[in-house]
Amino acid sequence: MKVGFVSLGLIGGSIAMAIRKKYPDAEIVAYNRSAEPLERALSDGVINASTRVIDDSFSGCDYIFLCAPVETNISFISGLLPYIADGTVLTDVGSTKGNIHEAVSRIAPDIRFIGGHPMAGREKSSYFNASDELIKGCYYFVTPSEGADKNDTERFEQLITSLGCRPIIVEPARHDFIVGAISHVPHMAAYTLVKLVQDEDTPEEYMRVTAAGGFKDITRVASSDPTMWEEICLANKDNLTELMDKYIEKLIEVRKHIAEGNGKALYGIFKEAKEYRDSMIR
């Protein structure tokens, strides 16, 4: 098996590591803009070859993973076309799917493209924080295009399942609404909560100094890459604004009950939320 990676960051690096661990004889080639991750991956034995340009290193791949930020992934598609073989499955790991599916249908509608999104990550990016354990046990959204047939999808599912992931096949639009609620809005809540505390902090910065476990747990994802999240917001703006409006309505409802001293209503909201949260698989 030959696998190509375009951008070797946290997710791309973790998938490459998982493939190397499961398939030690696989041939893995990677492109990255900067040299340091490639040098480290070569030294680690994770990849067999590296390149800093899109070239024939990607010829004959069974799979090519696009692992850059959302819009950057799209920019690589045209350059890869000369090297995509008839049986190559092109996939990505981006947090939105609608925009890349639209781009594929416009640029190369016949290629075997299968959108992908492993629900895994860390607030710290880069290959140097990657791990072959990062995607183990995670749900992995799979969004096949019209160019990918049933066999392509089954083959891809088998690959990610063999890496310890649990595939879920959905349409691109449905994916974007789901992750808008469970990933994108929480990031917006974390970023804005941190900004609130920063803006309201005392001259002595007591808020920053004394922020403890609860605050840090809730806002952990605010340490994520700002460039990546700028792109995600713009790529999923319709779903994100709709869901943020609904979230704001929930906050206003809670604020109203607090202002009115309505403990019974607050208890009901908190109890429902606790029960639903406790039902989530950990």
pLDDT of residue 70: 86
pLDDT of residue 123: 75
The radius of gyration of the chain's CA atoms, rounded to the nearest angstrom, is 21
Both tokens assigned to 84:
């995509």
pLDDT of residue 122: 79
Q: Is the dihedral of CA 46, 86, 119, 228 positive or negative?
A: positive
For residue 240, count other CB atoms closer than 10 A to its CB.
23
| Positions in the chain whose pLDDT score sits under 50 | none
Strands 49-51, 112-118: pairing kind: unpaired
The SS3 call for residue 256 is helix
- Give pLDDT tens digits for 79-135: 999 999 899 999 999 999 999 999 999 999 999 999 999 999 877 789 999 999 999
* Domains along the sequence of the chain with CATH: 2-170 (3.40.50.720), 175-278 (1.10.3660.10)
- Rounded to 10°, the helix 237-259/226-235 angle is 100
SS3 content of the chain, % helix, strand, coil (to 5): 55, 15, 30
Phi and psi torsions of 78, nearest 5° = -60, -40
**Could you write out the DSSP letters of every residue in 206-223?**
HHHHH--HHHHHHHGGGG
Look up tokens 């917001």; give the residue. 233
Give the predicted TM-score (pTM) of the model. 0.91
Rounded Cα distance, 239 and 173, in Å: 9
Rounded Cα distance, 244 and 184, in Å: 9
Residue 145, CB half-sphere, CA atoms under 13 Å: how many?
25
pLDDT of residue 282: 57
